[in-house]
Amino acid sequence: MKALFLIIGAPGSGKTTDAQLIAERNSDCMVHYSTGDLLRAEIAKQSERGQLIASFTSKGELVPLEIVIDTIITAIKNAPKEVIIIDGYPRSVEQMNALDRVLKAQEEVKLKGVVEVHVSEVVARERVLGRSRGDDDNIEVFNNRMQVYLKPLESIVEFYKALEVHQQINGERSIEAIVADIEAYIKTHIKDKNGLVKN
């Protein structure tokens, strides 16, 4: 059975970089997917679906649920490793519930942990507006993205706490400290570095 770990956090929390570093350090048994990267890859294809995705992301709005779920489930099923790290999901209660339904309906993948990389809104704003990844990084869109993240956060955290899979990490420290904490959390939930997973 594959082990799934979700990493959530505000725009600018560093969740994608954290997940990438952990997967690179443990490439024998872990693979990382960013929902943002998966969606941007679809946009880059300039497909009909990609254009539809772009019409939402360019405004900082959520991509329709069925597109996101299909993208994530495809990535999980095709994952070449036993431990899958996905960041940037879920971003809404609907996304959370949809993933929960899909996971309950199969026995190939088990959700082992949800890591919340916590940063203040002030730190998130400074990080996002100080970098350039595209035309969506302006103040109005940032504020929209931040509200989209914060609005369902309490419900998402409560849901995963009830499942005993939630872990909050302080994202305002050095990247080395953050990555070490997340990596340690993941490793305590898998059997060994060879990818043999606890059921």
Binding residues: 12-17, 35, 40, 61-63, 88-91, 95, 131, 133, 145, 173
C-alpha 183/C-alpha 196 separation (Å) is 16
Residue 193 structure tokens: 């570095």
Q: What is the DSSP string of 44-76?
A: HTT-HHHHHHHHHHTTTPPPPHHHHHHHHHHHH
Which residue numbers belong to the known binding site for ATP? Answer: 12-17, 131, 173
CA within 13 Å, CB half, 172: 9
Q: Does the bond joining 90 to the residue before it have cis omega, within 30 degrees of 0?
A: yes
Residue 39 structure tokens: 């969606």
Which residue numbers belong to the known binding site for AMP? Answer: 35, 40, 61-63, 88-91, 95, 133, 145
Please give the angle made by the CA atoms of 183, 184 and 188, to the nearest 5 degrees.
Answer: 115
